[in-house]
């Protein structure tokens, strides 16, 4: 009887711990606090050899010389909202992939791509993180190789305010909303992208560390207060 009581108590304590962890990482209205538990949120590091670590809820990606673009891929997801603050070294650019895909051996060439992609390569829409005025725009990573604002004739949203929204050397707040065919981004509450395209109904979120030139770096990009929720 004592053994059964001990097992029951252990199960109860484990259940309470799991409930407490869920309470810490998921708040009201379905919001999840990513990386709050110190883990990589179950993501996989693919496409390159950059390194990722989490300390005090801050995800830091650091370049590795000779590595191509690297991604911490989480998902897949359909409709969602994603918010975070990001700080990137001036010499580095970065981005967050949304509804992106992992190339597999034997896959056909993705529509718009110039050739077959190596297995494990992440490709698809990427919300840009950079200090050069393109932050918040979406780039079709490893596929069409151009901006979605050009592909969808929505360059009007790329106003002077949008190009100046990202503040060099500071923590910048991003909000990305993807619902149905509709993609939107905001930096520090300024609209920076707004377009529709039906080609990627589901895919991965990927936190990018860009490749660097030989003899440079290491450089880092940092994300904090990362919040995510799936929507309908």
The model carries a pTM of 0.89
Per-domain residue ranges of the chain: 1-28, 31-230
Helix ranges (H only) for 33-188 are: 148-151, 160-163
**What six digits make up the tokens of 127?**
């919300």
Q: What is 31-230's CATH superfamily? A: Exo-inulinase; domain 1 (2.60.120.560)
Residue 17 Cα distances to 93, 139, 140, angstroms? 39, 41, 41
Q: How many CB atoms lie within 10 A of CB 114?
A: 11
The C-alpha atoms of residue 134 and residue 118 are separated, in whole angstroms, by: 27
**What six digits make up the tokens of 60?**
């830091």
Residue from 114, 164, 103, 179 nearest 143 by CA: 114
Give the pLDDT confidence of 129-161 residue by residue, as tens digits.
999 999 999 999 999 999 999 999 999 999 999
Q: What is the pLDDT along the chain (232 residues), one digit of tens a residue?
A: 444 444 343 434 334 443 444 444 566 689 999 999 999 999 999 999 999 999 999 999 999 999 999 999 999 999 999 999 999 999 999 999 999 999 999 999 999 999 999 999 999 999 999 999 999 999 999 999 999 999 999 999 999 999 999 999 999 999 999 999 999 999 999 999 999 999 999 999 999 999 999 999 999 999 999 999 999 8
């Amino acid at each position: 009887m004592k053994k059964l009581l001990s097992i029951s108590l252990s199960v109860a304590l484990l259940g309470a711990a799991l409930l407490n962890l869920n309470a810490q990482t998921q708040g009201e209205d379905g919001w999840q606090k990513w990386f709050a538990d110190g883990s990589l949120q179950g993501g996989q590091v693919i496409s390159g050899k950059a390194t990722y670590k989490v300390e005090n809820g801050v995800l830091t990606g650091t370049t590795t010389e000779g590595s191509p673009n690297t991604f911490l891929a989480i998902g897949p997801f359909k409709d969602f909202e994603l918010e975070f603050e990001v700080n990137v070294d001036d010499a580095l650019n970065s981005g967050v992939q949304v509804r992106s895909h992992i190339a597999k051996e034997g896959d056909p060439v993705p529509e718009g791509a110039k050739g077959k992609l190596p297995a494990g390569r992440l490709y698809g829409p990427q919300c840009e993180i950079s200090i050069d005025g393109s932050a918040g725009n979406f780039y079709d990573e490893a596929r069409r190789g151009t901006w979605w604002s050009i592909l969808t004739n929505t360059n009007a949203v790329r106003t002077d305010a949008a190009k100046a929204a990202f503040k060099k050397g500071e923590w910048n707040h991003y909000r990305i909303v993807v619902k149905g065919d509709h993609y939107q981004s905001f930096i520090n509450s300024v609209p920076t992208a707004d377009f529709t395209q039906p080609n990627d109904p589901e895919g991965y979120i990927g936190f990018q560390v860009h490749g660097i030139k030989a003899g440079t770096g290491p450089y880092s990009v940092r994300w904090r207060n990362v919040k995510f929720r799936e929507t309908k």
